[in-house]
Amino acid sequence: FDGGIFNNFPVDVVLEDFQPDYVIGSKAAGDYSIPNPDDIVSQIEGLVMNKVPYQIPEGVKGIMVAPQLIKVEVNDFSQAKSFIDSGYVATTVLMDSIKKNVSRRESKEERRMKREAFNNRKPDMFIDQVIVTGVKPAQADYIRKLIVHHPKQRLFSEMKEDYYRLITDNRFRSVLPRLKFNPQSGYYDLTFEVERATPLELQFGGIITSSPNTEGYLQGTYYLLGENALNISLNGYFGRFYLGGRIGARFDFPFQNPYFLEMDMVSYRYHYFPSGLIFLDDVLSSNVSRYDDNITGIIGWPITNKGVFKINGVTGDWETHYYHTNAVKRTDVQDKTLFRYFKLGAELDFNTLNQRQYATAGSRLNARLNFGGGTEYHTPGTTSFSKQKAEFYHSFMDLQFTYDNYFAKSGPFTFGMLSECVFTTLPRFRNYTSTMILMPQFSPFPDAKVRFLENLRSQSYLAGGLKILYSFSNAIHMRVEGYYFQQFRKIFQNEKQGAYFGPWLSHHGFTMTSALVAHTFLGPLSLNLNYFGGETSPWSFTVNFGYYLFHKEGLN
Residues 94 and 211 in one domain: no
Query: Is residue 192 domain-shared with residue 221, that is, in the same domain?
Result: no
> Residue 280's CB: how many other CB atoms inside 10 A?
6
Indicate whether 458 belongs to any domain. yes
**For the range 6-15, what are the long-range contacts, defined as Cβ-Cβ under 8 Å and sequence gap of 24 or more?**
6/48, 6/49, 6/50, 7/50, 7/52, 8/49, 8/50, 8/52, 9/52, 9/53, 9/54, 11/56, 11/57, 11/60, 15/57, 15/60
In-domain check, residue 554: no
Residue 332 lies in a domain: yes
Contact status, residue 526 vs residue 515, Cβ threshold 8 Å: yes
Same domain, 525 and 381: yes
- The span from the CA of 224 to the CA of 201, in Å, is 12
32 and 98 share one domain? yes
Q: What is the pLDDT of residue 40?
A: 64
Residue 452 is classified by DSSP as: -
Domain range for 170: 126-196
pLDDT at 273: 66
Q: What angle (nearest 5°) sits at the alpha carbon of residue 533, between those of residues 529 and 534?
A: 135
Q: Are residues 26 and 168 in the same domain?
A: no
* Domain C-terminal end among 176, 196, 216: 196
Report the number of distinct structural domains present in the chain: 3
Checking phi first, is residue 206 left (phi over 0); if not, alpha (psi -120 to 50) or beta? left
- Name the domain boundary from 145, 175, 196: 196
Alpha carbons 166 and 159: distance in angstroms, whole number: 11
- Mean pLDDT, each 10-residue run in order, the chain (556 residues): 66 88 82 63 61 81 85 67 85 90 89 91 82 91 81 75 84 89 86 91 92 92 92 93 93 88 94 52 55 95 91 95 82 91 96 95 96 95 88 94 96 96 92 91 93 91 97 95 96 90 91 96 94 89 93 80
At 2 the pLDDT is 57
Q: Per the domain annotation, does 117 fall within a domain?
A: no
Distance, in Å, from the CA atom of 359 to the CA atom of 363, rounded to the nearest integer, reads 9
149 shares a domain with 49: no
Are residues 247 and 180 located together in one domain of the fold?
Answer: no
Cα–Cα distance for residue pair 455/491, rounded to 1 Å: 10
Question: Do residues 370 and 433 share a domain?
Answer: yes
Same domain, 359 and 262: yes
User: On the CB side of 207, how many CA atoms lie within 13 Å of its CA?
Assistant: 25
Residue 401 counted as domain residue: yes
Same domain, 413 and 474: yes
| Same domain, residue pair 291 and 436 | yes
Is 1 within the bounds of a domain?
Answer: no
Q: Is 318 in the same domain as 206? A: yes
Q: Which of 317, 431, 430, 335 is nearest to 374 (CA)?
A: 317
- 70, amino acid identity: I
CATH number at residue 132: 3.10.20.310
Return d(Cα 101, Cα 22) in angstroms, integer. Answer: 8
Which element (helix H / strand E) includes 17? Answer: helix 11-18
Q: Which CATH number belongs to the domain containing residue 484 in this structure? A: 2.40.160.50
CB 406 within 8 A of CB 415: yes
**4 inside domain:** no
Beta-strand ranges (E) seen in 210-277 are: 215-225, 229-239, 242-253, 259-272
The answer to whether 333 touches 382, Cβ cutoff 8 Å, is yes
Q: How far apart are CA 152 and CA 126, in angstroms?
A: 10
Query: Domain for residue 555, yes or no?
Result: no
